[in-house]
Amino acid sequence: MQLLVCIWPKAKCRIKGRPTMPPILYINERFFCDATIILDSGDACWISVGSRGVIIRSHKNSFFGGLLGSVLGPKLYREKDPYRTFLIANALREKLPPVHQIQCKNLILRAFCTAGWHCSSPASVTTALIETVALEQ
């Protein structure tokens, strides 16, 4: 049995014997379909999935960054075509191992959250998604 230790002020979670993993700040599937993951660099990655595609933005992990980051933060990735979003989510699901901390019912949100979970900075999120899009085509 492994022990999960969370230190709230630093927002770092560790499983004993494993490297640092980014914590999930929240997953919202009730009103909207979005999630926020804190990356190893300290930045937050906001992922929103809807009927018009997916958008991923980056913002600082602070109170005002959380309020304005989802609207004014730099766009890391955007896909407007729902069919391509589905294909990319399937490619991400096949490429990356599942993360048991991500308990999304929406499969597309789960795939993009898993991609963000495995990245350490906003630039690596963009790179990983662009590589997956290139492989999917």
- Give the confidence band of 66 by pLDDT, cuts at 50, 70, 90: low
Q: What integer pLDDT is reported at residue 63 of this predicted model?
A: 60
What percentage of the chain carries pLDDT values higher than 70?
Answer: 77
How much is the average pLDDT of 70-85?
86
pLDDT at 69: 63
Average pLDDT, integer, range 42-59: 89
Q: Is this model's pTM higher than 0.85 or not?
A: no
Tokens 């979005």 locate to: 34
Tokens of 71: 């609207």
What is the reported pLDDT for 103? 81
Segments in 38-81 forming alpha helices (H) = 63-72
What was the pLDDT predicted at 21?
Answer: 59
The DSSP H or E segment spanning 55 is: strand 53-60
Whether the per-residue pLDDT at 16 is higher than 50: the answer is no
**CA separation (Å) from 33 to 21, 26, 106?**
23, 11, 8
The predicted model gives 51-55 an average pLDDT of: 90
The pLDDT assigned to 19 comes to 52
Summarize the confidence of residues 83-95 as an average pLDDT: 92
